[in-house]
Amino acid sequence: MPHWRLFPSVPANTRWQRVVVLIAGFSLTGAAANTFGGRAPGTATWVETSPAGAAAVGWELLGGLRSLGADIAWLRLHTAWSKRDFRATMVWMRVAVGLNPQSLFFLVNSARIIAYDTPVWRMAKRAVPENAARRIRREQAFQALSLLEEGAAWHAGNPYWWIERGNIALNTADNPEEAAACYRRAAALPGAPYFAARIHAELLLRLGRQGEAYVWLCRLHPSLPPNIPSAQSERVLQGIRELERQLELSSTQLYRPPSATAGLNRGADSVPPDGL
């Protein structure tokens, strides 16, 4: 069986590869300048009337080249992906993500390709027993999660980064425990969609942790505005009542919902980033 590597090396022998490699070289130089200048990602540009200040502006302009190189690499990745070219897909993926690590779109969609598409490619031309197929899916899921983890410095405060980790942990890594933890982290962040908290509760139930799910839903329900359909306040309350029956709680232990007007001022539901 061939040894599958996440990002195998491929000689830069095409025109587009040479262009992107050149841009990558400029970008790495710019990154080094930012590092030695002490400027962290996301901070204001250091500009002053000195050669060093002028150089900082130059490195900032190279950020546009990084974005351009990442876009070109992503187009090349799409071509390779459409042909199921594993090696080229992985190479262009690494270039795109490396040049523009701030892009959640590149990171998440790269992880999806690794987790959901590459297992199919690996098993396409041969009969694979179910136990071997499960192992391959888990291998690719681990690699996808490792790629997402590389973006932690940029995206750990984004609930959709945690949701993607949870999806892969649940759907391909077959790890509902890890998925539940990821959805809980997502639900705790500003801008999290309402479904993140509900899925966390559903996974707790799947894991047989009814008591924990009940406590979670009782804490969640008061924050759900009844005037926003996606919050599904009534559905959550129904789930609470069902758990109370399963847990055989006494009347003094039952959850008492807040008034019907509570939570009305929370505002519209959050909208996911483009492409996610």
Task: Give the whole-angstrom CA distance, residue 58 versus residue 70.
Answer: 19
Residues 6+ apart with CB under 8 A from 162: 156, 182, 183, 185, 186, 189, 196
CA atoms within 13 A on the CB side of 53: 6
Residuewise pLDDT in 10s, the chain (276 residues): 444 444 444 444 444 444 444 444 444 444 433 333 334 444 333 333 344 444 444 445 555 688 889 999 999 999 999 999 999 999 999 999 999 999 999 999 999 999 999 999 999 988 889 999 999 999 999 999 999 999 999 999 999 999 999 999 999 999 999 999 999 999 999 999 999 999 999 999 999 999 999 999 999 999 999 999 999 999 999 999 999 999 999 989 999 998 644 544 333 344 344 344
Quote the pLDDT of residue 194.
96
Rounded CA-CA distance 202/179 in Å is 11
Q: pLDDT at position 65, please?
A: 82
Query: Residue 32: what pLDDT?
Result: 37
pTM (2 d.p.): 0.73
Gyration radius (Cα) of the chain, Å: 23
Listed residue (213, 216, 232) closest to 224, CA to CA: 232
> For the packed helices 159-171 and 130-150, what is the interaxial angle rounded to 10 degrees?
170
Q: What pLDDT is recorded for position 62?
A: 57
